[in-house]
Amino acid sequence: MVRVTASDKTNTAKSATVTVGGVSATFSVTTLADVTPAGFTLAPVTNAALGATVTSAAVTLSGFDIAVPVSITGGEYSINGGAFTAAAGTVTAAQTVAVKLVASANHSTTTTAQLTVGGVGAGFSVTTLPDSTPDAFSFTTKTGAAINTAYTSDAITVKGIDTTVPVSITGGEYSINGGAFTSAAGTVVVNDTVSVKTTAANGTELTREAVLTIGGVSGTYVITTMDDDSAPVAEFKFPTPYTMSEANSVKVRGTASDEHGITAVKLVVGSTEVDATPKSETNGVKDFSSWTATIPLTANAENEIKVIATDDRNNTTLTANANKVTVRQADVKSAFPDEDLQFETSIDGIVYDEKNNQLIIGDTYTEDLIAINVNSGKRSLFARLADFNIYDMSAMVIEKKSNQLYGRARNSNDRIIFRLSLDDKLDVESFDAPYLKFRQNSPRSLIIDNSNPDNIKLIEAQYSRTWANPLYSFDLNSKNLTLLHDVEDEFLTDADKLFGARGGVFDKANNRYLFATGAQLDELKHAIIAVNPVTAEQRIFSNNEVGTGEAFSTLLPNGDTAFLSGLVINNRVNTLYVMEARSNKLIEVELSTGNRHLIAELNYVAGGERERTNFESMITLDESNNLLYALENFRKAVIAIDIETGEKVILSKEENDF
């Protein structure tokens, strides 16, 4: 008997050899083969597409010695990259196996294939992606909404998802489950409720949308404002609400606006209707954003003129609500609007107080400042300067930012500059200006130079018809006086000097002072002079040889000598306006070229003829309405002039017998 101890390894032979009398025999013992593979795993797959065929990563088999059976349920397998099959087979160690299966057709569902190798199994699981696309949702449209009003939609309930999904909005805000409204991106889950809020458009028949997006699905909350049932807004720009005219007609100007097209504007005076002329007409479409009309006036009567506009929705201004002006037709001798507080012998200086919508005029006989209400023409005492030891005021200007009035005058002893608050008439201050006491002619030009907001200056040119005029700067902060231009400078010729300077402005856009000069017969001295604020260098900006267009007048047919009496600048349209006294021409000058255009010849109409007038004082501008106001010294009248049409009316006037 032979005995051999088997190997401690699987599928391994051990033998023993026995020799008897030279004859040998071998006894061999082989251990059992290992048919149980080492454990293995197949990595699961998540977020698989619905119904997709998904293949696992291949695994290498080990831990067994001989071919073992392989089988699968719920899928197919492949050995060493070969064809996939669901049939049973065999594999050997070191071979690779991969599994594939078809993912579920439902979201968030796991499908598993079970692979068994030599009795050792491993599952390959594939889970489909979650449902992040909600069911479609919508909001009920809001119609007839009030303009510029916030509205909130009905709440929708989020359905059709099984995971957290993003939510965002454009054009509004949203609220989740009744919480605070927000426009920031967030998240929602199934069965959350969401409502949307947005503000209706600021106009009729307009649509505003808020778009809510949940998991890539969008719904729009639409708000449409109410139908347009409002009449257009039509109003007068000229004349002002209550004026007088000696003519038998007046040319009015105004504006009209509407959210939609305006088809007609008409003027109604008594039983007469006059169609307005639109600003322009293109392909049959009329632009009534600006309009004009010539209105007949009933003699010696209060002519109430109303403007009626109609839009393309057939909305028409109600007569009772129509904007209106009244023009009194009367003889030029008449007082207007009444005889209260008539001017005395001399009026000088006029400024427009935009903040309070009034004109301030100097009465140099009574030493009073007279306020004229632009809407009514009523005159009232604004301030009695004599109470503050201020006399002979002239050359008034307004510093708009602080609403302060400045002017030239004298006190008991000397020449002064005075300041008066237009908001507090008791806030009055005087600045001594003794340098003027040696001059025999009064200053007629005073300019606010606010090019440096920390250093506002008054620029003053003394007036003389025959002498050249010195130019001074008075700093309102430091109270320092500077001589900018000395007429005694031996290097200056007459061509370089200011003569008869009666009006001046600061042209901020071009950084220069502009003065109206010349009362002499030499027509070339009737000019607009530009002065450099730094060097005081002067040059002719516009006269009958510099610039083209309307000529400045000199000797008139009646023997009078015309002269330039006032300047005002319109920065909005880059234009200078010049009043030429005695010829009574109102001229506009282009600031870019010096070219001149006649706006109007300001004369009264009586008996079909032009009556004598005399505009020797300054003019002032209402820039927002494109109106000028001028003093007519001959009849002590304040005239309103429409820059766009050249039409004039009387705003306020005392009674006279001529």
- Burial zone of 595 (CB within 10 Å; 0-12 exposed, 13-18 middle, 19+ buried): middle
Q: Check residue 193 and give its pLDDT.
A: 97
| Residue 385 Cα to chain centre, angstroms | 43
**Does residue 14 have a pLDDT over 90?**
no
**Does residue 617 have a pLDDT over 70?**
no
Give me the mean pLDDT over the 2-27 stretch.
75
How far from each other are the two terminal CA atoms of the chain, in whole angstroms?
169
The contacts of residue 179 (CB under 8 Å, 6+ apart) are none
**Does residue 497 have a pLDDT over 60?**
no
pLDDT tens digits, one per residue of 243-252: 999 999 999 9
Are 452 and 401 spatial neighbours (Cβ–Cβ below 8 Å)? no
pLDDT tens digits, one per residue of 326-368: 999 999 888 999 877 776 656 778 899 999 999 999 887 788 8
**Does residue 612 have a pLDDT over 70?**
no
Read off the pLDDT band of 372 (50, 70, 90): very high
Query: What order do you get walking across the sheet with 538-542 strand by strand?
Result: 503-507, 512-517, 527-531, 538-542
Which of 17-21, 61-65, 455-459 shows the lowest mean pLDDT across its residues?
A: 455-459
pLDDT tens digits, one per residue of 499-554: 556 678 889 889 998 888 765 556 667 889 888 888 777 888 999 989 999 999 88
Read off the pLDDT band of 410 (50, 70, 90): confident
Q: Outline where DSSP puts E strands in 226-331.
A: 233-238, 242-245, 249-257, 262-269, 272-275, 277-282, 285-296, 301-311, 324-329
pLDDT tens digits, one per residue of 284-295: 899 999 999 999
Query: What one-character DSSP code corresponds to residue 312?
Result: T
The first and second tokens of residue 253, run together, are: 């100007």
Helix (H) or strand (E) holding 586: strand 585-590
Question: Could you tell me which of 634, 631, 637 has the C-alpha nearest to residue 618?
Answer: 631
Q: Check residue 453 and give its pLDDT.
A: 56
Q: Check residue 439 and give its pLDDT.
A: 45
What structural domains and CATH numbers belong to the chain? Answer: 45-125 (no CATH), 142-225 (2.60.40), 233-329 (2.60.40.650), 442-601 (2.120.10.30)
Q: Cis omega before residue 337 (within 30°)?
A: yes
pTM of the model: 0.73
- Burial zone of 590 (CB within 10 Å; 0-12 exposed, 13-18 middle, 19+ buried): middle
**Does residue 17 have a pLDDT over 90?**
no
